[in-house]
Amino acid sequence: MEKKLCKSNTNKMVAGVCGGVAEYLGVDPTVVRLIWVLFTALGGSGLLAYILAAIIMPEA
């Protein structure tokens, strides 16, 4: 089965981006969310990346 990176419908908090990345990588969504928050807090580019991913990534 081919893995596709797409937004999650089950692990959705805001747009499902972190849940989709977590499902693709096979890790816990909470870990991905915490890493994303760290990137946002440290450099600010995490918020822009999240918005772009929410627009670009297809629905599951």
For the chain, the domains span 17-56
Contact call for residues 19 and 13 (beta carbons, < 8 A): yes
Determine the average pLDDT of the residues in 31-48: 87
**CA pair distance 3, 34, nearest whole angstrom:** 23
Q: What percent of the chain has pLDDT over 90?
A: 42
Q: What percent of the chain has pLDDT over 70?
A: 98
Determine the average pLDDT of the residues in 36-46: 85
Going by pLDDT thresholds of 50, 70 and 90, the confidence category of residue 4 is confident
Q: What is the pLDDT of residue 1?
A: 66
